[in-house]
Amino acid sequence: MTQIDIRPLSTSDPAALGCVTAFFAELNQTFPGGFDPGPPAAWGLEKLDPPHGAFLVAFDGPRPVGCVGVTRLSPETAEIKRLWTDRSCRGLGLGQRLMAEIQAKAVSLGATRLVLDTSRHLPAAVAFYRRAGWTEIARYNDNPYAHHFFERALP
């Protein structure tokens, strides 16, 4: 494995779309009954592009191996979306790096609070957020696949 490089990309970039597609395919294999994100036009990725959001892709050499996005929900609140790392990179701290960089992007968007949701079928994700100091909150959206909702204050 080479040095992992993380950089902002448009969500329409093929590397970004490849990461999101891989993420959705993994969810489809993991969730009982599968996962249906709908057609790409319904994914809402444009909300993760500037000026209201940001999308980061991690590269191991030329290969995209992770992603995460953020979008503003209100002037003070931003939502983390699509955190994913390739199985080959898990356990190396890449998820933590992606989260640190996307949180910095959220601060630059003016956010003082972050929220995110995840599924009970992703126990490693739930544990990751808890270890990282995220606080569970009440449901804040209508995502049918989400069972856990978290928040954290930004500096």
E strand or H helix at 55: strand 53-60
* The residue to which tokens 């992603």 are assigned: 67
Show Cβ contacts of residue 110 under 8 Å, excluding neighbours closer than 6 positions: 72, 75, 76
Nearest CA-CA partner of 73 in 147, 149, 1: 149
Q: Any idea what the CATH number is for the domain that residue 92 is in?
A: 3.40.630.30
Q: How confident is the model at residue 2 (pLDDT cuts 50, 70, 90)?
A: low
**Per residue in 13-34, pLDDT tens?**
999 999 999 999 999 999 999 9
pLDDT given for residue 40 in this prediction: 87
pLDDT given for residue 73 in this prediction: 97
Quick check: is 148 in a domain?
Answer: no
Count up the domains in the chain and report the number.
1
**Per residue in 94-121, pLDDT tens?**
999 999 999 999 999 999 999 999 999 9
Quick check: is 33 in a domain?
Answer: yes
Quick check: is 126 in a domain?
Answer: no
Residue ranges making up the domain that contains 61: 4-112
Quick check: is 22 in a domain?
Answer: yes
Q: How confident is the model at residue 155 (pLDDT cuts 50, 70, 90)?
A: confident
Quick check: is 83 in a domain?
Answer: yes
